[in-house]
Amino acid sequence: MRLVAERFSGGTDDTLGLLFIDGHFACFTLEDEFREVKVPGETCIPVGTYDVELRTVGGLTQKYQQMFPHIHKGMLWLRAVPNFRWIYIHVGNRDEHTDGCILVGDTCQQNVTEDGFVGGSRSAYERIYPPIAAAILRGERVTIEVKDSLEEA
């Protein structure tokens, strides 16, 4: 399975994007802002392709097991992101809800004149999580390509 997170708008506090699953639009994304030099918990992940696996230990895993007991099999974990640890795809609405992870949502508020926002995060997560987790559990390789379509100013 191939995921693509395509960033389209970089704000002062966040970065908005689109998530595609096997070429089909799945939801909007929100990450921290771009920085030349990484600031822990305040920087979007580098452009690249990463394997996605299920992480079945840790505090978020337990929290998500309680939040989504009917679907949760482990956190969607982006492996080997340079200079980052424990990068997940998860729920949240604003950059305050992520420490470098990718948040998902069904709606999107622009980040040009105000802070970006994704809404309907739980419903987006409940829709995208099952097929991704199922592919991983079947032993399929799941990757996510993070790329920018942002133009340099």
**Domain membership flag for residue 153:** no
User: What percentage of the chain reaches a pLDDT higher than 70?
Assistant: 97
Question: Domain range holding 47?
Answer: 2-148
14 inside domain: yes
Largest CA-CA distance found in the chain, in angstroms, rounded: 45
Question: Do the beta carbons of residue 18 and residue 25 sit within 8 Å?
Answer: yes
Identify the CA nearest to 15 among candidates 111, 132, 139. Answer: 111
Residue 119 domain flag: yes
Q: Rg of the Cα trace of the chain? A: 14
Over residues 32-79, the pLDDT tens digits come to 998 887 888 788 999 999 999 999 999 899 999 999 999 999 999 999
Q: How far is CA 48 from the centre of its chain?
A: 13
Is the pTM above the cut of 0.75? yes
Count of domains for the chain: 1
Q: Is residue 32 part of a domain?
A: yes
Which tens digits make up the pLDDT trace of 92-148? Answer: 999 999 999 999 999 999 998 889 999 999 999 999 999 999 999 999 999 999 999
Q: Which residue carries 């995060």 as its tokens?
A: 121
Both tokens assigned to 12: 């002062």
